[in-house]
Amino acid sequence: MTTATPTVGAGVQATGATTRAGRVRKRLNTRWATLVSVVIALLWTIPTFGLFISSVRPEDQIKTTGWWTFFRDPQFTLENYQEVLFGNSSSSGQLASYFINSLAITIPSVLFPTAFAAMAAYALAWINFKGRDWLYIAIFALQIVPLQMALVPLLKFFSTGVTVAGVQVLPAWDLVDEQKFAQVWFAHTCFALPFAVFLLHNFISQLPGDLMEAARVDGATHPKIFRTIVLPLITPALAAYGIFQFLWVWNDLLVALIFAGGRSETAPLTVRLAELAGTRGNEWQRLTAGAFVSIVVPLIVFLSLQRFFVRGLLAGSVKG
């Protein structure tokens, strides 16, 4: 294998990207853009704020009046969260254990595809090998395949393994209880890789070729270039993709329910919320508290990585 050479006209592309970046920043710094951003932010925040107010109101208040009346007759209680998180009865939320399950499912399901996609994107962008372009096209085409079409074959793969001409090539996984988390990690990683490789490839392929050439002249190998040069430069892209993947996995119900099951040992938060909404549809105070608990972690993740997310989006929008 040989290393890909920089494309012709890279300097012109870099100059054009810088000019476009300046135009984008100038347009986003106008008063009208700021005003529109504030209005959108307020409209986007109102439902979440109303959900939070409802979650801390007493049962009789939330069932008889709207959340906006809280300011006229404020009554505050944490009993809803107590019942939802640590209630002993089956009718209560008991979300604490499901919350841990969601973390156990989501964190590896974000780290695995991000790591694999970054390495694959680097290889497709900067290493020449036979069939590289066709492989990239095939990965890109996999994005159009609905994940629902792969659920049954993947579930059969886990339960019976792979048999070719009557010969058992891969055995069944036969996982039980918490071991089923591995099935969910595998499924989410498979479903996430096509888009992740496509997204990260767009960033990595636009890195300066002169930088790669200088590293090779100094004797750096591909693993060292990837570890010491590429990874620091694509941090915004990794953070942007990580946020998308985290939100997708955290809010997922279908994949986790199929591959992890609905038992309390492995079921994520979304499974319990669905049960709570179905069996206690009239207990609005529990539903609002449970819903707010489920969005706390995604909010923390997004706010903590927001600066990387914005940098990643802007970098992707101005590359030539």
Q: Do residue 101 and residue 235 come from a single domain?
A: yes
* pLDDT score for 188: 92
Handedness of CA 10, 199, 150, 181 (dihedral sign): positive
Question: Does residue 16 lie in a domain region?
Answer: no
Q: Do residue 225 and residue 186 come from a single domain?
A: yes
Q: Do residue 194 and residue 272 come from a single domain?
A: yes
The one-letter amino acid code at 222 reads: H
Measuring CA to CA, which residue among 49, 11, 50 is closest to residue 320?
11
CATH no. for residue 99?
Answer: 1.10.3720.10
Q: What is the dihedral of CA 255, 256, 257, 258, to 10 degrees?
A: 50
Q: Do residue 114 and residue 69 come from a single domain?
A: no
Q: Using CA atoms, how far apart are residues 97 and 182, in angstroms rounded to an integer? A: 18
* pLDDT score for 117: 93
Q: Using CA atoms, how far apart are residues 320 and 316, in angstroms rounded to an integer? A: 9
Contact 239, 208 (CB under 8 A): no
Question: Does residue 256 lie in a domain region?
Answer: yes
The token duo for 21 is: 């970046």
Handedness of CA 39, 44, 48, 54 (dihedral sign): positive
Q: Do residue 254 and residue 154 come from a single domain?
A: yes
pLDDT in single tens digits along all 320 residues of the chain: 555 544 444 444 445 545 666 676 676 677 887 888 889 988 988 888 888 888 888 888 887 888 888 888 888 888 888 888 776 655 556 777 888 889 999 999 999 999 999 999 999 988 888 888 899 889 888 888 888 888 888 888 888 878 887 777 777 787 777 888 888 999 999 999 999 999 899 888 888 888 888 888 888 888 888 888 888 888 888 988 888 899 899 988 888 888 887 787 888 888 888 777 655 566 677 778 888 888 888 888 888 877 766 665 555 444 44
Judged by DSSP in three states, 53 sits in helix
Q: Which residue shows structure tokens 């802007």?
A: 314
Q: Do residue 54 and residue 100 come from a single domain?
A: no
Q: pLDDT tens across 116-169, in order?
A: 999 999 999 888 888 888 998 898 888 888 888 888 888 888 888 788 877 777
Question: Does residue 7 lie in a domain region?
Answer: no
Question: Does residue 3 lie in a domain region?
Answer: no
List beta partners, residue 167. Answer: 164
Q: Do residue 62 and residue 191 come from a single domain?
A: no
Q: Do residue 69 and residue 103 come from a single domain?
A: no
Number of other residues whose CB lies within 10 A of the CB of residue 183: 23
User: What residues make up the domain containing 124?
Assistant: 95-316
Question: Does residue 204 lie in a domain region?
Answer: yes
Q: Using CA atoms, how far apart are residues 64 and 58, in angstroms rounded to an integer? A: 10
Q: Using CA atoms, how far apart are residues 64 and 146, in angstroms rounded to an integer? A: 43
Q: Do residue 286 and residue 141 come from a single domain?
A: yes
Q: pLDDT tens across 284-317, in order?
A: 777 788 888 888 888 888 888 777 666 655 554 4
pTM of the model: 0.76
Q: Do residue 162 and residue 270 come from a single domain?
A: yes
Domain count, the chain: 2
Q: Do residue 126 and residue 163 come from a single domain?
A: yes
Q: Do residue 167 and residue 302 come from a single domain?
A: yes
Question: Does residue 132 lie in a domain region?
Answer: yes
Quote the DSSP letter at residue 169: E
Question: Does residue 84 lie in a domain region?
Answer: no
Judged by DSSP in three states, 267 sits in coil
Question: Does residue 9 lie in a domain region?
Answer: no
